[in-house]
Amino acid sequence: MRTPTPHLSMEGEVSHAMNVLFPARQFACPVHGSIEASDLETLVIDSSVFQRLRRIKQLGNTHYVFPSATHTRFSHSLGVMHLAGRLFDAFLPSWGDTRTPRAVQEACARLRARVRMAGLLHDVGHGPFSHHFEHMLVANTPHGPARPLRYGEWAAKAKDFALPPSWLREEKRQEFLNDALAHEHYTYGLVNMLEKWLKRAYGKAAEAFDAQGLCSLLDERLAPSPTLVHDETVLSRWLAPKNGDQANERDVNSLHRCLKSILSSDIDADRMDYLQRDSLHSGLRISLDLRHLFASVSLEWSHTSGRFVVLVKPNAVGAIEQILIARKQMFNQVYHHRVTASFDELLKISMHYWMRETGVEAPSTLQAFLSLADEDVLRELTKLTLNADVEHESHERLALKMFLTRTPPVRREEREVPTSQAVQLCSDLLKIHRDLGKQDIVQVNLKEFFRPDRDVIASPKDVLFVDTGRSPVPLRLSSEVLQSSAWREARTRVVANEPLEASAARRELKARLALHVGCVLPTEKEPAAARSQRQQGPAAPKPKPQVSKRRTENPQPGPSTPAQRPARRRRA
C-alpha cells in the first residue's frame, strides 16, 4: 500500500473515508518521471471538465510541421501541478518542519494544495486548437465577424458563465468587464462550476476546493477568498515576526503576489513545463537546470522594501537566464514557425467562414463549451468541403480546402523587424509584389521578452530579486540577458505568401483534394463532350458500319505487313 507523502497527508481537508474510496493516484510522465495526485486532485482529474483536455492539443497546428508534437493540455496541466508544488516547497523549505507551529503547517498545507490545484486547472478554459479558439470569440454578423466580444456583454447573455460580483476587485471591475472574451474567462467559469459539482456530490470531502482562491492565483484582478486571506495572514505573521501579531494588508498582498508568481512569472511552473515538454515532442532538445534553481530560491521578507519578495542566489541567475533563452529559442523555431503561421492563418479564415455559413457563435453555456474539442471543429469544417473544385471557389473556401489538405501557401518573402515597423513593411511588400495581384501577408508576433513595468526603476510589481549581500537587486537589473536589446525590443516576423489561387495551382491542390475527399478527377485532355457523356452515364451502343466483302484490286501494305516489319536481331 502506498505511503502518502508528509505534505499531502497534512492537508487535513479530505476525510479518511474519502482516502479509502478514492486513493491518491500516480501518473507516469516522460518529463518529470512520476507525478503524484492527492485525493481531491484525483477527483478533479476524473471530472469531465478536466478530461476534455485529452482532446485539446497543446500546440494547435504545430504537429503539421513537427509530427510528434501531438501531446495534449491534459499532460501539460499535470506537469504544471507537479512543478507548482515543487516551487512552493522551494519557497518555503521549512514549512513542514516539526519546529514550525501547527497552525502555520496547516495554513501552508492548504496554500500548497491551492497552488497545485491552480496549476492543474489553469488551462481548462482552452478551446479547440488552443489559442486559436479566440478566433471564434467574435460577434457573428451576416457580413462576417465584426468585432471581438466583451466579457461583460457575454456574461450578461450567458448566466452560468458570469462570475459572482464579489470575486472582482472593486478597482479592477470595469477593466475586467471590458476585457475581450478569452479562454481565461472560460477557465474561471469552469472552476466555479466545478466547485458546485464537487460539493454537491461529495459534501464536506470537497470543502478544500476554493474556486475563488484558485482563480485569484491566476488573475490579479480577482480578489482572493476569505479563507485564502486567512491562510496568507497566518503565514505572513510567521515570516515577518517583527510586525507583531497584526499583519497589515500590504504584507498579505505582497505575499499573495509572490504565491501568484509560482504560476505567472519569469520562472513560473507553466513555463518550466511547456518548454521541456514541447521541446521533447518537437525534437528540439533543450536542457533546464531546475534542480539548481529550486535549491537557490526562497520566499523572504525584505527589510529594504518592506514587503515579501522571491530571493534568488547570485549563482542561480544563470539558470533563470537559461529558461529565458530557451523560451526565445522555442518561439523562434517552433511556436512561430513560418509554415505553422501559414496554417494558423488558413484556420482563422476557415473558422470565420464556418461560423458565418452555419450561424455558429461562441459557446454561451459552459456545457456547450465542454462539448468542443479539436476533432469536433475539424469534423464540421470537413462537411463544408465535399468536392475537388478549385477554379471557381471563393477565397474563404479555398483557404478551407488548403487547410484540410495541409497545403500551405507558397512563401515569397520573410523578414523580421521591430513591431513598430511591421505595418509599414506589409505595405511595402504589397507595393513590391504588385505583379502577384492579391497578396497574403501573415504577421507573426515574436512576443515581447520583457514587461513594460521592468523599465520602471522602482516597480512595485517586481517579485524576483537577487541577493547581493546588502540590499536585494531586482532580477531585471542583475541579468545581462534581460538588459540586452533582444529583450528590450518586441519584434515581429512578417511572411509574404503568394495569393491562394496561385499557391493552389502550384501545389496541385486539385489532386490533393481528390485524395482527401475520394473524388475522381477528369483528365486535362478529355474533351468537354466526353466528360459530360461520362457524367450522364453510358450511352446506347452505336450500330456497326457495314464493310464490303469485295477486296480492293491493289491493296496497300499495312503496318503489319512483312515489308514494314523491323528486322529482328539474331541472338549471339
Cell numbers placing 249: 494588508
How many angstroms separate the CA atoms of 475 and 453, rounded? 13
Looking at 283-385, list the stretches that DSSP marks H as alpha helix, in order from N- to C-terminal side: 290-294, 317-330, 338-358, 366-370, 374-383
Residue from 348, 381, 422, 287 nearest 136 by CA:
348
Each of the 572 residues of the chain gets a pLDDT tens digit; together they read 333 333 333 333 333 333 434 457 899 999 999 999 999 999 999 999 999 999 999 999 999 999 999 999 999 999 999 999 999 999 998 887 888 899 999 999 999 999 999 999 999 999 998 888 887 787 665 555 457 788 888 888 877 778 999 999 999 999 999 998 889 999 999 999 999 999 998 888 888 899 999 999 999 999 999 999 999 999 998 888 665 555 678 888 999 999 999 998 888 999 999 999 999 999 988 888 899 999 999 998 888 778 899 999 999 999 999 998 899 889 989 998 989 989 999 998 888 888 888 877 788 888 888 988 999 888 888 888 766 667 778 888 899 999 999 999 998 888 888 888 888 888 888 777 665 556 678 878 777 665 544 433 345 567 888 988 778 888 888 888 888 877 777 888 888 888 888 888 899 888 888 887 665 444 444 455 554 554 455 555 555 555 554 444 455 555 544 445 555 555 54
What integer pLDDT is reported at residue 8 of this predicted model? 34
Could you give the angle at which helices 269-282 and 317-330 cross, rounded to 10 degrees? 50
How many angstroms separate the CA atoms of 25 and 433, rounded? 59
How many angstroms separate the CA atoms of 44 and 160, rounded? 20
What integer pLDDT is reported at residue 434 of this predicted model? 62
Cα torsion at 32, 33, 34, 38 (round to 10°)? 0
What integer pLDDT is reported at residue 152 of this predicted model? 87
Length of the chain: 572
Q: Please report the sign of the dihedral spanned by the C-alpha atoms of residue 390, residue 392, residue 398, residue 400.
A: negative
What integer pLDDT is reported at residue 385 of this predicted model? 74
What integer pLDDT is reported at residue 539 of this predicted model? 55
Lookup result for grid cell 526565445:
328
Consecutive H or E run containing 494: strand 491-497
How many angstroms separate the CA atoms of 187 and 264, rounded? 15
Rounded to two decimals, the pTM is: 0.83
What integer pLDDT is reported at residue 20 of this predicted model? 36
- Render 132-188 in DSSP notation, one character per residue: GGGGGSB---TTS--SBPBHHHHHHH-GGGPPPGGGB-GGGHHHHHTSBP-HHHHHH
Consecutive H or E run containing 514: helix 509-517
How many angstroms separate the CA atoms of 153 and 135, rounded? 17
List CB contacts of 352: < 8 A, sequence separation 6 or more: 135, 138, 144, 145, 396
- Strands of 245-339, DSSP E: 297-302, 307-312
